[in-house]
Amino acid sequence: MRRGGRGERTPGFRSLSGPGLILALCAALMPLSSTTEAAEPLPLTRYFDNSAVSDDALPDAADFDGSGASLSAQDLTAAGWTGGRALNVEGARLTWPDRDPGEADNVRAAGQPVRVRGKGDALAFLVAGTGGSDVSGGGTVSYADGTSSTYRLTAPDWRRGSLGAKTVALPHVNTPDGQLAEKARLFVVTVPIERGHEVASVRLPYAADLHVFALSVRPDTAGWTGSWAAPTSTYATVGPWTDRTLRLVVHTSAGGPRVRLRFDNTFASAPVRIGSATVAVQGTGATASGTPVPLTFLGARGVELPAGAQAFSDPLDFAVPADANLLVSFHLPGTVTAAPLHRLTQQRSYVSEPGDHTADATSTPYTSFLTTWPLLTGVDVGAGPGSVVVLGDSITDGQASTLDANRRWPDVLADRLLAQSAVPRYGVLNQGIAANRVLADRYPGDGVSTDSGGVSALHRLDRDVLAQASARTAIVFQGVNDLRTGATADDVVAGLRELAERVRARGVRVLVATIVPCGGESRCTSVVDGQREAVNTWIREEAASHSGFDGVLDFDAALRDPAQPTRLLPAYDSGDHLHPGDAGLAAVAGAVELGALVP
């Protein structure tokens, strides 16, 4: 078959070569079960049968979607996605195919048995669909002990899938008729596997428009406990910073004898370079209580983070105190004009004069303040019992709490855990984002923005909850922002059900909290309050027994004014009638029954 004209293809035609052609011919000649069951598992690259990437000067050399369109090799290079490069995304290590533009670099899922090894909590797939909408299919995981499990994989479309869920977006689509200024998307999607079982192979789904570029087992984080975390809420203009050192102040929950840090280049379109980094316990302000200790990344002083990827520092013997402030300092040797960050910190951090000041113990070089947390997303400590992850909005994020005082309610919950011995002293990870919603993205998921409300809880669940170190229990405390912006109770309930299903599928305990009152705030009308009550009724009566949640936390009952149940108790109201102040946040933490956190 040949193309009849520029940009035209015979309907349904898919170009095949190498192992992909052999597989297709075998499938045509033999029964489906014979084709799939008899094949010996091979490395994924042996099945590559499709070319997704073209040089801008030779767009005809690749055909990702059957109509001649493809990804730009130049755009991938600009994003730091070069051939053979290992990309860390959501705790998984995936390798971008080491192929020249125009060569086969991905496989259409057709039941191929793929050789994959490792133990962990999930499979991670680097995928995209080309059918115009999400494409799904079921597959099988085979374990070394002879057992197996099934999974369902959904790949969003490479041109229409949600930017809020993508790993990287490229600025162009190559076509035989010219380059289009249109976003091309790639996605990392994870699916659960049996913990403690060694994966031997993975059978891909049958879904011709589902393309797989890479596949790996995401390793367990046993031996690590999450002590501090902050979700990326936007990609925003910063500085600009050239040859500057950032010294971020973060507050631990659990302590431990070792530490590792996590940096994320979420939502970015270009790499960012960290030249060096240190960690220290805070003395006062930007002054360390001792000499900052240098970190390494795979043995090197610094690391480059490709767009959409992350980096963990090497494990460091460093005694991290519980309930203490750390100074995390990192040098940005280049010019940074925009960065992924967490906007609302209620914490002052610091920016230096020009130069690498990561090793400075004094505050002298740090001449300006910073009230965001750029790039840094996690602090894990060695050993410990694991962590509780709180998925929330501005109430969890600590809006209206006292600056520099660590009085966000997850901080108070961590203090409660440290002060007792009846249940494990879990780390507590605050994954609240002010203005965040369950269902809709506030930040669109791509590009520089002034909106710091983040992508939806449904879009960030894998990154901000399931990929966190040794997550044992998740607390979902969201929904008021959805209701205040027009969502119905049924909408919110459907979103909460999906969150519960996805969390429990990973073997993580999940609790849901009732929505607290906000009467008196401009958007909290009587209609909104009626919808809030409907959600709360469902939570109290059905969530734990019929909807996948393991328990209910009644924050509404803890904070409402008995005389006016649609409003916060005045002693708990920060004054805006929506956000509790310090006393109210302490009451939220006090309403958590600690035994409910234990799986």
**Whole-number percent of the chain with pLDDT over 90:** 92
User: Is the pLDDT at 6 greater than 70, yes or no?
Assistant: no
Is residue 445 domain-shared with residue 582, that is, in the same domain? yes
The CA distances from residue 525 to 485, 519, 567, 577, in Å, are 11, 7, 11, 12
pLDDT higher than 60, residue 289: yes
Average pLDDT over residues 142-169: 98
| Residue 236: inside a domain | no
Answer whether residue 25 shows pLDDT above 80.
Answer: no
CA distance 226 to 426: 8
- Boundary (domain end) residue, out of 168, 192, 218: 218
Q: Is 555 a member of any domain? A: yes
Going by pLDDT thresholds of 50, 70 and 90, the confidence category of residue 38 is: low
Judge whether 575 and 581 are in contact, CB under 8 Å: yes
CA 540 to chain CA centroid, Å, is 29
**Residue at which a domain ends, from 382, 400, 435:** 382
Say whether the peptide bond before residue 240 is cis (omega within 30 degrees of 0).
yes
Q: Name the 3-class secondary structure at 539.
A: helix
How far apart are the C-alpha atoms of 428 and 396, rounded to whole Å? Answer: 12
For residue 214, give its domain range.
Answer: 18-218
Going by pLDDT thresholds of 50, 70 and 90, the confidence category of residue 23 is very low
Task: Report if residue 436 sits inside a domain.
Answer: yes
Q: Both 542 and 495 in a single domain?
A: yes
- Domain-embedded: residue 246: no
Provide mean pLDDT across the span 84-110.
Answer: 98
Same domain, 212 and 343: no
pLDDT of residue 548: 87
pLDDT, tens only, 508-556? 999 999 999 999 999 999 999 999 999 999 999 998 777 789 999 999 9
Q: Answer yes or no: is pLDDT of 423 > 60.
A: yes
In a domain, 13, yes or no: no
Which tokens belong to 97?
């195919």
Cα separation, 468 vs 387, in Å, equals 8
pLDDT of residue 544: 78
Residue recorded with tokens 């990929």: 467
Asked whether the predicted pLDDT for residue 17 surpasses 60, the reply is no
| Structural domain count, the chain | 3
227 within some domain: no
Instruction: Choose one of 314, 348, 382: the last residue of a domain.
Output: 382
- The β-bridge relationship of strands 325-342 and 113-118 is unpaired
Radius of gyration of the chain (CA): 25
Strand ranges for 97-147 from DSSP E: 107-110, 113-118, 122-129, 135-143
pLDDT at position 37 is 52
Is there a single domain that holds both residue 427 and residue 327? no
Same domain, 518 and 555: yes
Residues 304-343: pLDDT tens digits?
999 999 999 999 999 999 999 999 999 999 999 999 999 9
Mean pLDDT value of segment 245-265:
98
Q: What is the pLDDT of residues 563-586, one digit of tens each?
A: 999 999 999 999 999 999 999 999
pLDDT at res. 344: 98
Q: What does the pLDDT average to over 245-268?
A: 98
Q: Is the dihedral of CA 362, 366, 372, 374 positive or negative?
A: negative
Model confidence at 18: pLDDT above 80: no
**154 and 189 part of one domain:** yes
Check residue 48 and give its pLDDT: 98
Q: How far apart are CA 53 and CA 102, in angstroms?
A: 6
CATH, residue 476: 3.40.50.1110
Model confidence at 31: pLDDT above 70? no
Tell me: pLDDT of 34 over 60.
Answer: no
Q: Give me the mean pLDDT over the 491-515 stretch.
A: 97
Least confident of 32-46, 179-193, 220-234, 386-400: 32-46
Same domain, 440 and 301: no
Three state DSSP letters for 402-445: CCCCCCCHHHHHHHHHHCCCCCCCCEEEEEECCCCCCCCCCCCC
Residues in the chain: 599
Is residue 368 pLDDT above 50, yes or no?
yes
- Same domain for 178 and 292, yes or no, is no
pLDDT value at position 502? 96
Count of Cβ atoms closer than 10 Å to residue 268 Cβ: 24
Give the C-alpha distances (Å, rounded to integers) separating 291 from 181, 229, 280, 288, 295.
Answer: 49, 24, 7, 7, 13
Residues 385-420: tens digit of each pLDDT: 999 999 999 999 999 999 999 999 999 999 999 999
The pLDDT of residue 35 is above 60: no
The answer to whether residues 462 and 507 belong to one domain is yes
Do residue 97 and residue 127 come from a single domain? yes
In a domain, 116, yes or no: yes
Alpha carbon distance 206, 152 (integer Å): 11
* Average of per-residue pLDDT values in the chain: 93
Q: Is 15's pLDDT higher than 60?
A: no
Q: Are residues 326 and 208 in the same domain?
A: no
Do 265 and 141 share a structural domain? no
Q: Kind and range of the H or E element at 97?
A: none
Q: Are 381 and 321 in contact (CB under 8 A)?
A: no
Name the β-bridge partners of 293: 279
* pLDDT score, position 39: 83
